[in-house]
Structures are given as C-alpha cells and as structure tokens.
Amino acid sequence: MMIRPDHRCAAGLASVRQAGAPAAVKPALPGPRPGRLAVFARAYRALTLIALLSPTAARGLPDPSARVEPLGVTEARWTRGFWADRFAICSNETVPAMWRLMSGTNYSQYLENFRIAAGTTQGRYRGAPFNDGDFYKWLEAACLVFGTTGNPTLRSAIDESVDAIARAQRADGYLHTPVLVRALRGEPGGTAFEDRNNFELYNLGHLMTAACVHHQVTGGTRLLDVARQAADFLEAAFRDSPPEAARASVCPSHFMGLVDLRRETGESRYLELAGRLFAMRADITGGGDDNQDRLPFAEQTEAVGHAVRANYLYAGATDLFLESGDTALWGPIESVWRNLIERKLYLTGGCGALYDGASPDGAREQRAITRVHQAYGRNYQLPNVTAHNETCASIGNILWNWRMFLATGEARFMDLIELTLHNAVLSGVSLGGTNFFYTNPLRVTDPLPAELRWSRTRVPYVSAFCCPPNVARTVAGTSRYAYARSADTLWVNLYGGSTVATTLAAAGRVRLSQETEYPWNGRVRLKVDAADGSEFAIKLRLPGWAQTAALRLNFRPLEPDPGQDGYLTLHRRWQPGDIIELDLSMEPRLIESHPLVEETFNQLAVKRGPLVYCLESADLPEGAKILDVTLPPDIRLTARYDRRLLGGVVVIEGKAGLRPSSDWTGRLYREFKSEPAKPLPIRLVPYYAWGNRAPGEMTVWMPCGLQMPEPRPSVGK
C-alpha cells in the first residue's frame, strides 16, 4: 500500500495526530511484497504544499514525558559519506583558515582585541561590536573539531585563545572588548551597557555556550570560570535595573548561553537570571519589531523583524520552556513557528526575506511602524533575486527547531533542521570551505535589478563576519543533531555514515553504527554494535518528503505503525549484530508554492529527498538565459550521480523548454506574443553547491511551460 502526499487533505488529517505511546514492531503481514511499507505517517504528518513539514494545526502543550535529551558532544561522530566529508573540510580547511584570519589583523581584529583589553598589546579596538561573539563561535567550532580529531595544533590555538580571553576579563566579570579597550584608553564609550546596540549580551551569550562546549571536550574549567564570572556580573548589573534595560538584549544569545551554563554547572541561579531578563522584556515601552519588543512576548503571533535576532529570541524562549516548564511560553512559540513555516519560510529553509523594510508594514496605527533590516517581511513576501536569507538566520532557525524537537520529540522539527542544513546553511560556504556568502538568494540574474549590499560571489572575508564562524560551528557540530536519547529510547534523527555510543537511563550502554550514501540515495543500514541486553526502543525519523519507504529487521520485512511523532519505533531486546534497514524513496519532484507568493506564482522548483535543486547558466548553451527556461508540468526527471562534478553530486536531468530570448531594453510592458519553446536538455545541481564554478546566473524557480510533445524516459530513482 502506498499513500502519496496530497496537500488538499492536510487540514482534515491534521487532527488525527494526538499524543500517544509509540507502537511496538509487529511481524510482517503474510506475503508482503519486497520493499512494502504503508507509510501511514501520511495520515499523521499531513504534508504542506511543498511536501516538507508535518501538520500545523493548533496544538496543546507538549507532553513532559516526551522530552528528549541531547547526547554529549563527542558521543556521535560522522564516519564516511556526505556529512563526514563536510566535517573533514571544516576540520582541515575552514577552522584553520579562520584561525589564521581571526588571530591576525589583516581584515579586522578578533584575538588581538582581547590582548589589547588585557594590556598585553598596545593599540585601538578594531572591528564590529560583535567581533568578540564571532571569535567565541570560532572557538566553539575548534573545540568540536578537537573533540573528534584530537589535533594538537588545534589544541594549542584553543589554549592560546582561552588564555587571552581570561586575561582580558575585568575583575568584576565584565567582558566586552570594545568597552574595555575604550575604558583603558580613556576614550568615550567605555561604560558597560551605555549603548543598547553594542551587542554585549550577544557576545556574552556566545561566550557561555563556547565555554560549556570547551569544558565538555577538554575537561578544563578556565573558560567555564570566565563564563560563570560573566554571568555573575550580569546578575549584579541587572538586579535593580529598570525594565528598559532589557532593550540592551540585541540579538539575544544570552538566554541560550545562560541555560547552557545552568545545564553544565547544575546551578539554578543561571536559569533564574535568564528568566528574569526575559520577563523584563514585557515591560519595555517604545520598542519596535526590529528587536521583537514592540509587543510583550506573550502577545506575539508572527515572526517579525531582524531574522537572526528573532530566531535567537525564539530559541532562547524554547530553552526557558524546556528548563522551567513555564506554560505561558509555549503558545507564542508555537504560533510564531506556524507563521514562519506556513507563510515566511523559503523552500531551502532560508528565512529573513528583506534587506530593509518596515514593520508592521501597512499598519493602521502608523506610530507602531519601525524600520527593520535583514528581516522577516510580510506574509508570503518571499522574493528570489533580492532575498536576504542571512546564513546566521538559518542557523538560528536550526537552534530554535532543535529545542522544539527536544521539547516534543516530534519529527516535524527535525524535518526542518534537515532541510535547512542541507540547503540554506551549506550554501553559505564554498565546497572548498574557505569562501562564504552572507546572503543566500534563490535567483541570480545578470544584470541584477538593483544594486545590493552583499556579493553574489563567495568571498574569504565579509565585513560583518558573523556568518562564517557560525557556519563553522554548525557544520562541526552536525553530529550532535544526528541522534538523541530519552530514558529507554535512542532517536535516529539524521542519516549519514556515523557511530553513536551513549547510555540510556533505563537500558544502559548502547553502541550503534550507520552506513548510507544519503542524501544521494535513501538506503540506510544501522547495526547494533553493543547493548546491555535490556529492552529499549530505536526510533527512526520518517522524513516528511518520503513518499514510500521499506523497513527490515535482520533482513525480515516489517510493517510497523508509524508513530504519531513521525518516527518508526522498533522496541525489543536488542542484541549485538542486529541490523535495521530503511529504504526511502527519492524520486525527483516538482514543487509549486502557495499562490499568494507572488514572485513564484506559476513557477516550479525541483526537489529530491532533502535537497533543493537549481539551474546554473554554466549548464546552459551559450547565450541562453535562466529566465528563458521553462519546466513543462509533464517533464520526466532522472537522477544520476556524477562523481566528477562539484565534488560528486547527484544531478537531475530532463528536457525543458527554451523560449526565444528577446530585447526588453527601455520597456516595462509589451504586447504578449505566443512563441513556442524549443526542447532543451537541462541539468540541475544541488542548491548548496551553486556558485562553485564560473560566476553566472542561477535560479531555483522556473516558469511552468507548456507540455512537451516528445515521449519521455521513465522516472529514475
């Protein structure tokens, strides 16, 4: 039996998913066909139009018993395949190149600012006010790489960095080098929290998170002590502060950082401080959407304003919900999340559509309108050529959805993480690992319709160098999202060649290995390498894009009832040598957008598995323009692995249409003339890999053309 996605039934089926216990594995029904698995998850996880996510009907509070725990930072690691290759590039190229840049002074100053603040070097502060936070991100990435590789050269760089940071910290715990250096030199701007846009809490939040990772990987406490002293300073500084002081929380990573610190040290006062700082936001007057403080958090229902700031805030709020159980937080969190995925999310998982705008745009109460930048726009406002889609916004969205998954154990959040990692995040870094995008458009034309701030070519340095180290720590830490655990369950979230060794509270030690060529094909093989003989469950995420799937245990077909959480659950007394095989269908599919997305109306995109595909001018005949290519609705698409292209990728091929090029010089409109399109063989490449060949045009969305009369080969897999 096959159940294929039909967005028309989504609303009716959404109500089927209610909280419930995972079903145990049942023996295969008599006489199953090989590869047969009725994907009943379609009934539970009714797809959106883009066949991506689970139902978005209103939900109640998560069941506390469903809470999932992350693994330790070194308990899972990639071994071979797609993510192992990306980790290797991050380890061998990205992190070392970034160290050379950030420990020097060629472009800007990072490590040098700490040395100047400590008085060990003379000079002025150079760089953006968030340079400290960007260096902490690199340090987190370096620790994650060191935890896997044990590279002594990298350990030396880590130790040098920690020493400089510790020496720069003021005796009372304050640490923000722009202010410290100016105070040391007697210059204006040498007072803490004098400028609400100085990113002090942003920097300190990243310090706390990096310190926790450093402690977990190295066992050393020096950086953790620095983070604790910084938190002590915040506790004292905000003890009697007026509520307006909460407006200093621009790009609020400190909520996540304080919760990380609480988890690492076990001290509840850090959670209490995070809660107090969050509660202060409700009393802000005269705020705006750019910093998400026009309305109290309890009244917010839409994703608004600066997308990085927004996603950090939503992730921090979810962390507070996880640790405090404050039920008042969940309603806004869920409402904003639904608004994002239903009306403001790009097909690639990117978000934050606007370079500049106003919010709430078109409001009756004009005094409430504020200028916003790098921001969520109106509902369905998803431009392609001028899409901002800052890489950091996508990473913030991953941080948020990871915490939503931990709160609920629902696959819809891991679906979004998988989508965003494979597309919106990886597009931000070159295949070689040393050049970066700040923005990630879905179309590039020559010429562009307007002059834009950020390059459409990846570069080694961006003046706002927040995204490159954010990509580094995200790619270095992807294995942390691959698995999770609860008392008697091991959760398999992401597919890729890997190993995991952890302890389940109710089942003891478990060791598992995974072999797969995912995302190039959907065949996944998992082997139990060690188990203590206790009964426990293994949950396998059934991706929302999988139209059909097959499951086998020790080579015997199974017909389990997919859980309401979007996972296939296998519960038994596991033995070393047990083998699970999951085979997910990966046919290329044509995707259309909601008709209210004006920029993609009557256009199509191509998706296969978790990967979004695009067309580059490098794959077109000379003189052909991407805007002249049409996709017939009956196009037959075939997937083929090309090991010589872009480091080895699956390309998608088919026969599209090419309309005659015409001259629009000096014209905005003209009389329509129907001209037949010529058949054009096309080759599409994964979106994340675009821009790694010669500069040229690119598009994800293409006009829907007329049906082509020629017969087509059968769809490949």
Contact 164, 180 (CB under 8 A): no
Name the domain count of the chain. 2
Joined together, the tokens standing for residue 357 give 């705008």
At 249 the pLDDT is 82
Q: Is 39 within the bounds of a domain?
A: no
| Residue 601 and residue 625 in one domain | yes
Contact 263, 211 (CB under 8 A): no
User: Of 586, 621, 647, which residue constitutes the final position of a domain?
Assistant: 586
Q: Is 474 within the bounds of a domain?
A: no
| Residue 489 and residue 581 in one domain | yes
User: Of 542, 563, 586, which residue constitutes the final position of a domain?
Assistant: 586
Joined together, the tokens standing for residue 123 give 């000079």
| Residue 537 and residue 511 in one domain | yes
| Residue 556 and residue 579 in one domain | yes
Helix axes 111-118, 131-149, angle to 10 degrees: 110
End-to-end CA distance of the chain: 19
| Residue 566 and residue 616 in one domain | no
Q: Is 556 within the bounds of a domain?
A: yes
Residue 77 backbone dihedrals phi, psi, to 5 degrees: -150, 150
Within a 10 A sphere around the Cβ of 186, how many other Cβ atoms?
A: 7
| Residue 604 and residue 646 in one domain | yes
Contact 98, 468 (CB under 8 A): yes
Q: Is 555 within the bounds of a domain?
A: yes
Ranges of residues in the chain whose predicted pLDDT is under 50: 1-58, 708-717
Give the C-alpha separation, 263 to 605, whole Å.
43
Joined together, the tokens standing for residue 272 give 């209490």
| Residue 555 and residue 625 in one domain | no
Per-residue DSSP letter, 598: G
Contact 652, 639 (CB under 8 A): yes
| Residue 541 and residue 573 in one domain | yes
Contact 491, 485 (CB under 8 A): yes
H/E segment holding residue 607: strand 603-608
Q: Is 510 within the bounds of a domain?
A: yes
| Residue 691 and residue 603 in one domain | yes
User: Of 586, 610, 639, which residue constitutes the final position of a domain?
Assistant: 586
Give the C-alpha separation, 379 to 350, whole Å.
15
* pTM for the structure as a whole: 0.90
At 705 the pLDDT is 87
Task: Read off the amino acid at residue 677.
Answer: A
| Residue 601 and residue 691 in one domain | yes
| Residue 560 and residue 604 in one domain | no
Q: Is 72 within the bounds of a domain?
A: no
Q: Is 524 within the bounds of a domain?
A: yes
Region of 81 please: left (phi>0), alpha (psi -120 to 50) or beta. left
Q: Is 209 within the bounds of a domain?
A: no
| Residue 595 and residue 697 in one domain | yes
Give the C-alpha separation, 189 to 193, whole Å.
9
Give the C-alpha separation, 440 to 372, whole Å.
19
Look up the domain containing 606 and give its range: 589-662+673-703
Which domain CATH number covers 572? 2.60.420
Give the C-alpha separation, 85 to 520, whole Å.
13
